[in-house]
Structure 1
């Protein structure tokens, strides 16, 4: 699995947010031992799912959103030099690790394969869409990381169950550790979302040098593939879920 270093610093201590400010690319198999597994009825339901074989990176590359799928967005991949290990992101509350992973553009749940992209909303300019070269420096525009992770067996159900359980567990906030810095997540609030076979969404408020930054975190499952999204803005306030990006990815997954 892969996530990416920021090419621009959002603010000191905001490592989880800075990770989203670069383009994203493909991933490989990795163990995600830091993420909690679903328990109780959620785990039982997931374990009852039919066995499934994970898709390969090559197969996922055909399913993730691309430039042609998102009018009004600049869709990018990452350079290999921007890749960092998902183990570099940790939380003081284990139950909150899945949210921290999605916020940091890491595929939650340790999938067998994953791929990533970033979709930057292109600002409008005098009634027209700005050229890509004009928007690459416009970091205040909403930027959404898109991650597809494919799991063996019931892994996707378990990963989504962990994300659902994390909401109430982490509502009062948690500490995110990464890059030698500590970022304080102040609160996690549920959002309404319908996508795929099951879905979950949150508004995440983070303390960045005394200012409150608002981001959106979303995940939905289609079969044994989990799509996850994190939307941030250097303006600090993301008001809406990335519905256009979510709908485009859902359409590609069929």
Structure 2
């Protein structure tokens, strides 16, 4: 039986894969709807104690197709957000890490914006190839990006909470989602660059005998925390290009 972790991964993939299939039929609305015009007023970095950004201001700062033309971007469905917000772990100290896996927010944010992305087929691909790419997206890596802005030093505190949780839960924990449990075998902390602080996390699990990983990169820029989580039905690829584009857009 598939675990809730795998079902959540399939849910995350559905919107982007269907959007690719729509593109194969001659429609690019799904790829353009989530794109937002850059905001010149929000292009400069905020100081740690600056006033928090609103949802609208953060939406203008989300990475879009304008920054990564070879990716398709779609909105994160509310039911997917709800799954992440309801998820929990058997160890209270692991909750900040759990939050990063489901586009949920660590701490109390004043503004939030989300998007998800998947690599597009190469330019010039036939409609059949594009459709095949849409189906492949179900098994491939897709990345959710969550921007959260905090009052005062909230972003610093949220970043510190995730970093501490990753260390405390390095030996693993049990994730509960939709009433089902999945054993996360280990949490590996790594280095990342960009912003004022950055952290990379790799979560490993074995689902039905298959190794499943997620790759998460957190970047704090002033009072905004950007969380990029790449997931797949197997081993996820690192969201290097998406992280670089998002960090650049944050300023």
TM range (shorter): 0.7 to 0.9
Most deviating of 80-89 and 208-217: 80-89
1:166 aligns with 2:157: no
The match for 2:191 is 192
Deviation at 1:88, TM superposition (A): 1.1
Which of 1, 6, 12 in structure 2 is aligned with 1:20?
12
1:216 aligns with 215
Deviates more, 1:199-208 or 1:79-88: 79-88
Taking a change above 3 Å as real, the CA distance of residues 56 and 169 of structure 1, as seen in their structure-2 partners, is same
Where structure 1 has 5 or more consecutive residues not aligned to the other structure, the ranges are: 1-9, 27-48
- Asked whether the equivalents of residues 195 and 220 of structure 1 are also in contact (C-alpha less than 8 Å), the reply is yes
Q: How far does residue 16 in structure 1 lie from its aligned partner after superposition? A: 5.2
Cα distance, 1:79–1:201 mapped onto 2, change above 3 Å: closer
SS of residue paired to 2:4: coil
Query: Conserved in 1, the CA contact under 8 Å of 2:194 and 2:247?
Result: yes
Partner residue of 2:61? Answer: 63
Q: State the secondary structure of the residue aligned to 1:21.
A: helix
Q: Secondary structure at the match of 2:61?
A: coil
The Cα of 1:140 is off from its aligned counterpart by: 2.1
Change in CA separation of 1:129 and 1:186 when aligned onto 2, cut-off 3 Å = farther
TM-score (norm 1): 0.77
CA separation in 2, counterparts of 1:64 and 1:129? Answer: 29
2:226 maps to 1:227: yes
1:242 to 239, 244, 249: 239
2:91 corresponds to = 93
Q: Specify whether residues 78 and 216 from structure 1 end up closer, same or farther in structure 2 by C-alpha distance, changes over 3 A only.
A: closer
Match of 1:96, SS state, is helix
Change (3 A) 1:83 1:50: closer
Cα offset for 1:135?
Answer: 3.0
2-structure distance, mates of 1:50, 1:140: 39
Structure 2: gaps of 5 or more residues: 17-32, 35-46
Distance 1:17 1:174, change over 3 A: farther
Shift of 1:136: 2.9
The structure whose residues are more often helix, as a share, is 2
- Offset of residue 19 of structure 1: 5.4
Q: 1:70 to 1:155 in 2, by over 3 A?
A: same
